[in-house]
Structure 1
Amino acid sequence: MKSIHKNKAKELLKISLLAFVLTTTATSCSKDFLNLRPELSIPEDNMFDTPERILTHVNGLYASAKDGRLMAGRYYIYNDIRAEEFVNRTTNGVTGLAVYNHTNDAATTQVNNFWIQAYMTINRINKFLEDFDKYPGVVSTELEANYRGEAKFVRAWMYYALVHMFATPYAQDNGASPGLPLRLKAETNTENNSFPRSTVSEVYAQILTDLDEAETSLPADYSNANLRTTRAHKNTAIALKTRVYLAMGNFAKVIEEANKIVSPSAPFSAPTGVPHALQANIQSVFITPYTTTENILSMPFADTNAPGTQNQIGYYYNTGNGNVEYYLNTSTGSDVITGIYTDPQWHEGDSRKTLLTADYTTGGSTVRILTKWAGVSPFIDWVPVIRYAEVLLNLAEAEAEAGDQTRALALANAVHTRSDANNPLTSSSKTDLIEKILKERRIELLGEGFRAPDIMRRSETILSYGAGGEISPSSSSYIFPIPVGEQQTNPGL
């Protein structure tokens, strides 16, 4: 596996260096530049010798994560189409059909690609961190801490994405099951191909170690809205910790972390660092410039670095020269698998329904589609990784489970009434409150990759429209199998 990773890492490194070369040489007027050795052939020892090159590496870590096979779309799509919210329209095998049907296996190409890209990103991060040890003093101590924090944040993010997809949920046995190969050192050859799986608990512990260290060393803010939305800062690390602790069922820690960036009472906002807050209009989060204070972290795209054919979220869900691979499940009746769209909690006047969904007529029939990503081909809508609305709902669920239920309801209503002011949520019991918060997550975060993780972290049964029934926690398709490429090259599994 690592030999594959090494080759791909070199390819991406060359791409990132090329971007740097074009930037730094385009304005040169000297004829001598034509006779210089091309920048792409700089020796490895020189790839870390200027602040500009180091920044290129930092940007490269994010670029690796937002690859089309990973965080540009596939991660979010796979996690949503596995359950009941979407119906496949095209039976296109390349766009997640096996995942939708729960028939993907260890040899499914797209899932293999996801694993490879995630581990390649992790290896790039490990190499980057080790290079800082070898070449000290190139940037200031403060900037080095900033960069190290960003690298550790991205590594934690990658491991979280992998562990909840390819390993038994933490809640089933407190993380005692086999997890992932926990690679924390750079691999530049095949010597360490044989590498055992750490437990789920050990993987989560490493994720939290990385996020704690990232929080300590990351800046509180950046100089402009674009940077604070596309690069990790302190609040970004804290926000991701609330997601991770929620996945572990550690509600007390969710509350502790979320309270760092959520005020005690409404209107809820972040008291320190980037002043995160909900936007008055939900639609503003998904349109240019994509840099509101609700957008804690997003994956940016442009014409020059589109996610790639059949990877883009807009291509899957919307009509702007896309395929509408999946439309919303609007089924009703006790004898069918229903989605959140027809649930009574999602009222017809809710702006998330009026502004972010629409009718689409194809083949003589009309279906309802998700229009959060409204761009046209090549679908360069930014992908939201973490939104402040999620943090409020993470905290609401934790408070409902183990804290202040009054505050839990207020947090849930902050999200709900932003889009549906005429129908505030009420609760008759703890169980009722939790159920409504979980439904609110399905409404608010629809299409953003939360459905399967939210089911699995609570060790519940997946109700799959594609599979036509229930996928229990004991089912072989409840989690993804370790890809065949890893099995073949890693005898230590």
Structure 2
Amino acid sequence: MKLLNTYRNRGLALAAACLLLGLASCKKESELLNPAPETSILDVTAFETPDRVLGLVNGMYTKVKDPQFYGGKYVMYGDFRGEEFINRTANIFTGYDTWSHTLNSSSNEVQNLWIAAYGAINACNVFLQGLADNNSKVAPALAKQYEGEAKFLRALSYFSLVTLYAKPYVADNGASPGLPLRLKAEVSSANNDLARSKVADVYAQIIKDLDEAEALLPLTLGSDLLNTTRAHRNSAIALKTRVYLNMGNMSKVIEESKKIVSDVAPFKALTGVAHQLQDDIKVVFNSNYTTTESVFSMPMTELNSATGQNALGFIFNAAPIGNSEYSVNPSGIMGNAEFKTTDARRSFLVTSGTATFLRKYNKPSPYTDYVPVIRYSEVLLNYAEALAKTGDMEKSRVLLAAVHRRSDPTYTFPEAKISTQDALIASILLERRIEFLGEGLRSNDLLRNLETIPAKGSSSLTAPAVPSTSPSYIFPLPNAEILTNRLL
């Protein structure tokens, strides 16, 4: 059993647990807390019935929703690395090393996220192989849908990894070392050794998966809940706008955006799920997690949520909801003059004592706030940025205004903020800081533009600025992978 202490077997055990969790999904949810040994991954009955196959599909989503991945920590790290939050506790278990840029190959953040994300990837690979081997067990339309969902989740997982552990695509058109590109179902440690593919190759696989997912997925899934928490055609398209934006391929961002954004206001998706902005952004976070604005989210329930130090509400909120781990930086976007007091997004900022905290995630323990992965407002701002960078200033301004004026209807952008291409792009990037505060997008926005990560801090704790040339600009490879993969 010595091998079970290595990274690869830990990842395989996670994938095995995923399959067991999926098979148990038709049972009481509390039973999902008891994973089976690794050998369950080879159970010939796993794909025996349509219900069991659906259980395996649900298991893939469960793996992506791991507390160390999209259930909590990955989203946190995207904000901790930027300048919008102040660390208050120096707690290494709540991301202090990420916030302070003091990570090394043995840091908890570096190792746990890698293991969780590759566990999700292998769960997708195992499912795809099993589905191909048992295609007759479900109806052809469902088989196509499930294949599309697995490829969407694999693409999301690889994108999350490559944007943290590898140099930005735009630094050298993807020529830098990327990730070990694991696309086969692994049920043992035999294939631990795998060289890193280039960043460009990883992105090519992500786009391939999303293109195929778009073709395989249904237009809708039949309910607001499923349209929010499971992948459909527009989910794949929306994620492609994010991926192409990272690649600096603005023409493709525009091409994909046009599929799900109408030509004129009010902007909405005219096919598939009828995505559009919710009139009141507070509803998106406080009372209805399944509006048409929520393209894809991680659902949380009392029996299936990130808890304690892995929960967004615990980290960002003040007592009694949270633990006051991170307050909003008064020198960050909160203090920017363009973030007006009349802006409804100010309602997410709550003062406690001398500090201000984010209350987008406002449910107390057991923290059942949904975790937003893609919102329609991001698609609109991705589109606006691509248009601005390719010279279509007029439509870019209209899209930017649609997002901002949803929350501040009386606001008009000063001419100096939108009259030139550089000014307009800066305003769009500023809008993203306001709109997605606490949603994990800030680190990626800095890196994809090769911007220096700004310094931040308080009188007691500080973090330095990190230029794009610094090794700290990205996460190091985890020590567990280095020790078990001889081809790195």
Q: Same fold (TM over 0.5)?
A: yes
In structure 2, the residue matched to 1:411 is 399
Counterpart for residue 327 of structure 1: 327
Alignment-derived partner of residue 3 in structure 2: none
Deviation at 1:321, TM superposition (A): 3.2
Q: 2:348 is matched with which residue?
A: 356
Report deviation, 1:42.
10
Which of 390, 413, 418 is residue 378 of structure 2 equivalent to?
A: 390
| Greater mean deviation of Cα atoms: 88-97 or 7-16 | 7-16
Give CA deviations for 1:68-127 in whole Å, capped at 9, x if unaligned. 010011111101111210001122121000100000111001321110010011111111
Q: Which runs of 5+ in 1 are unaligned?
A: 26-39, 331-337
Alignment equivalent of 2:23, drawn from 17, 34, 40? 17
Residues in 2 aligned to 1:274 and 1:107: alpha-carbon distance in whole angstroms: 43
Q: Equivalents in 2 of 1:300, 1:101: separation in Å?
A: 30
> Alpha-carbon deviation of 1:43?
6.9
TM-score of the aligned structures, taking structure 1 as reference length:
0.92
Distance 1:132 1:13, change over 3 A: closer
Q: Within 5 A, what are the aligned runs for 1:275-294?
A: 275-294=274-293
**Corresponding residue number in structure 2 for 1:441:** 432
1:227 aligns with 2:233: no
1:476 corresponds to: 471
After superposition, residues 303-342 of structure 1 pair within 5 angstroms as 303-319=302-318, 320-330=320-330, 338-342=331-335
1: CA distance between counterparts of 2:361 and 2:215?
34
Q: Which moved more, 1:419-428 or 1:234-243?
A: 419-428
Measure, in 2, the Cα distance between the counterparts of 1:148 and 1:41: 21
Contact 2:230–2:296 (8 Å) recurs in 1: yes
Higher mean C-alpha deviation, range 210-219 or range 130-139: 130-139
> CA offsets, 1:124-167, max 9 Å, x none?
11111011121121111111000000000000000000000000
**2:93 aligned partner:** 94
| Maintained 8 Å contact 1:274/1:293 | yes
Does the Cα contact within 8 Å between 2:64 and 2:120 map onto a contact in 1? yes
CA distance in 2, matches of 1:162, 1:261: 26
Q: Residue 36 of structure 1 aligns with which residue? A: none
Q: Please state whether the residue corresponding to 1:118 is helix, strand or coil.
A: helix
Matched residue type, 2:486: P
How many residue pairs are counted as aligned between the two chains?
A: 466
Instruction: Report the Cα distance in structure 1 between the residues aligned to 2:428 and 2:17, rounded to whole angstroms.
Output: 44
Aligned equivalents of 1:234, 1:289: Cα separation in 2: 22
Alignment match, 2:336: 343
1:416–1:424 Cα contact (<8 Å) kept? no
Aligned to 2:127: 128
Counterpart of 2:314, as a letter, is Y
Q: Which amino acid aligns with 2:339?
A: W
Who is 1:486 aligned against?
481
Task: Normalising by structure 2, report the TM-score.
Answer: 0.93
Distance 2:144 2:22 in 1: 22
2: CA distance between counterparts of 1:197 and 1:43?
28
Letter in 2 for 1:289: N
Instruction: Note the C-alpha offset of 1:48.
Output: 0.4
- CA shift for structure 1 position 289: 3.2
Shift of 1:368: 1.1
Aligned-residue RMSD, C-alpha: 1.5
Amino acid at match of 1:352: R
CA distance in 1, matches of 2:21, 2:75: 25
Partner of 1:379: 367
User: Contact 1:2/1:188 (CA < 8 Å) preserved in 2?
Assistant: no
3-state SS of the aligned residue for 1:409?
A: helix
In structure 2, C-alpha distance between the alignment counterparts of 1:446 and 1:109, rounded to whole Å: 24
Moved more, 5-14 or 317-326: 5-14
Identical positions, percent: 47
Distance 1:472 1:41 in 2: 46
- Specify every segment of 5 or more residues in structure 2 that has no aligned partner in the other structure, as ranges: 1-6, 32-38
Partner of 1:333: none
Which residue of the partner structure matches residue 35 of structure 2? none
| Letter matched to residue 401 of structure 1 | K
Runs of 4 or more off by more than 4 Å in structure 1?
40-43
